[in-house]
């Protein structure tokens, strides 16, 4: 019996040999589902065997950025230029021997940057301790790809991340899957499905062993998006791109690289000469979508020197978790001034979504106001 890797290779070869058209759409969809199931089985077996000594990274700060690229594109130099961290590096490949963290300050937020060992082809299958590195990438809030003029194959890097269940610059599909013990499989949608016609959705579900359940589509999803939802192990992370060692590039060469690296909008930098780093940091900070919240003590102005840093989409409940004391239990309401308020001093509850530079006063249950 062939190994899982051999089975995956066989199915991948069949997909490559099959021309994609309306007649082969269902067949290719089933094959992609089969690969996803095999990869899940491979992942389960790898966990069962134990991964050996892995990378232990203690996350800190308000967000974590994973610095991802090929060996010797200058990741360690960039980390040192942006932070006070020192990574063991030299002018040859495979020089970063562990994941090195550094801390960067941006607009009041602390951003942890992780210098990853360089990824090599086959990293997602375990080559070069790739699975361990990619498991750390999966836990980050933003991926910062770094390439240089000699190493610009960004698609190969993206493919390694996608093979490990990372989805970049996209959001989870609007698909809801529920399982049942009996009753068969039913599929419903609130929109017309143009990519999953002719029973393809049911066939993909059965590849995952889902024979009894309910699938609801709230968008015109593709086969790959349905596979992602059924796999259940996908993570969705934003990503940006820097091109290092770009100080000698002509404008024509930069134009060519922009075209080659689309749809990313690359930032041209020189980590060694500290060129373009301010632009890179600004883009990094904005990509993390921080929300700065100023807490206002009763009868006093808000503390604008030390904001509470949250992420876009955070609510009053998230803010309470970041403040000292037992506010989750004693909370009664909050007063809001700023972008998310309909009017100054609006009273809101736990589910209220905050926006950048909101001012908040917390009202506790006994009727007094507390600023923390």
With beta carbons less than 8 A apart as the criterion, state whether 355 and 339 touch: yes
pLDDT, averaged across the chain: 88
pLDDT at 343 over 60: yes
Arithmetic mean of pLDDT, 335-349: 96
Q: What is the pLDDT of residue 53?
A: 52
Q: Is the pLDDT of residue 224 over 60?
A: yes
The CA distance from 336 to 172, in Å, is 30
Read off the pLDDT band of 98 (50, 70, 90): confident
Alpha carbon distance 178, 180 (integer Å): 7
Distances in whole angstroms, Cα of residue 225 to Cα of each of 24, 148, 217, 236? 18, 32, 11, 12
Alpha-carbon 115 to chain mean position = 16
Q: Look at the domain 63-170+235-287 and name its fold.
A: Rossmann fold (3.40.50)
Locate 66 and state its tokens.
């994973």
Which of 12-26, 184-198, 224-238 is the most confident on average?
Answer: 224-238
CA-closest candidate to residue 143, choices 129, 153, 152, 133: 133
- Phi, psi torsion values for 236, nearest 5 degrees: -115, 115
**Residue 366 pLDDT > 70:** no
Domains of the chain, by residue range, sit at 4-50+173-231, 63-170+235-287, 290-370
- pLDDT computed for residue 121 by the predictor: 80
- Using DSSP bridges, classify how beta strands 290-295 and 308-311 pair: parallel, antiparallel or unpaired: antiparallel
Helix axes 154-163, 130-137, angle to 10 degrees: 80
What integer pLDDT is reported at residue 54 of this predicted model?
Answer: 56
pLDDT bin (cut points 50, 70, 90) of residue 372 is: very low
Select from 57, 110, 69 the least CA-distant residue to 271.
69
Distance CA 88, CA 133 (A): 17
Is it the case that residue 117 has pLDDT exceeding 60?
Answer: yes
Residue 286 — pLDDT band, cuts 50, 70, 90? very high
pLDDT reported for residue 232:
93
| Torsion sign across C-alpha atoms 218, 219, 223, 229 | negative
43-69 average pLDDT score = 77
* pTM confidence score: 0.83
Rounded Cα distance between 322 and 274, Å, is 35
> Do residues 90 and 43 lie in contact, with contact meaning Cβ atoms separated by under 8 Å?
no
Class of the CATH-defined domain 290-370:
alpha beta
Give CA separation, 339 vs 208, 292, 357, in Å: 45, 11, 7
pLDDT at 1: 52
Dist. CA 235–CA 181, nearest whole Å: 28
- Place 328 in a pLDDT band, splitting at 50, 70 and 90: confident
């Amino acid at each position: 019996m062939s190994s899982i890797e051999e089975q995956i290779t066989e199915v991948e070869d069949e997909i490559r040999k099959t021309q994609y058209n309306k007649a082969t759409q269902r067949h290719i969809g089933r094959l992609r589902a089969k690969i996803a199931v095999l990869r899940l089985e491979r992942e389960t077996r790898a966990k069962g065997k134990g991964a050996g000594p892995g990378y232990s990274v203690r996350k800190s700060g308000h967000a974590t950025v994973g610095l991802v690229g090929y060996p010797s594109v200058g990741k360690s130099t960039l980390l040192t230029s942006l932070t006070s961290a020192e990574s063991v590096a030299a002018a040859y490949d495979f020089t970063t021997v562990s994941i090195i963290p550094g801390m960067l300050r941006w607009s009041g937020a602390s951003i942890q940057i992780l210098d990853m060992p360089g990824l090599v082809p086959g990293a997602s299958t375990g080559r070069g301790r790739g699975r361990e590195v990619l498991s750390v990438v999966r836990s980050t809030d933003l991926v910062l790809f770094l390439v240089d003029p000699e190493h610009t194959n960004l698609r190969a890097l993206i493919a390694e991340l996608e093979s490990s269940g990372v989805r970049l610059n996209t959001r989870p599909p609007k698909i809801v899957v529920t399982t049942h013990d009996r009753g068969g499989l039913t599929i419903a949608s609130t929109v017309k499905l143009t990519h999953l016609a002719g029973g393809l959705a049911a066939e993909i579900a059965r590849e995952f062993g889902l024979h009894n359940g309910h699938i609801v589509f709230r968008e015109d999803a593709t086969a790959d998006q349905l596979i992602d939802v059924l796999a259940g192990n996908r993570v969705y992370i934003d990503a940006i791109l820097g091109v290092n060692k770009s100080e000698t590039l002509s404008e024509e060469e930069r134009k060519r690289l922009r075209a080659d690296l689309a749809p990313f909008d690359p930032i041209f930098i020189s980590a060694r000469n500290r060129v373009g780093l301010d632009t890179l940091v600004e883009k990094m900070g904005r990509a993390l979508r921080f929300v700065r919240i100023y807490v206002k003590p009763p009868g006093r102005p808000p503390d604008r020197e030390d904001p509470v840093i949250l992420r876009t989409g955070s609510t009053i409940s998230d803010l309470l978790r970041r403040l000292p004391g037992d506010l989750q239990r004693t909370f009664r309401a909050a007063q809001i001034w700023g972008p998310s308020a309909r009017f100054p001093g609006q009273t809101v509850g736990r589910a209220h979504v905050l926006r950048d530079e909101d001012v908040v006063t917390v009202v506790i249950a006994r009727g007094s106001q507390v600023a923390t």
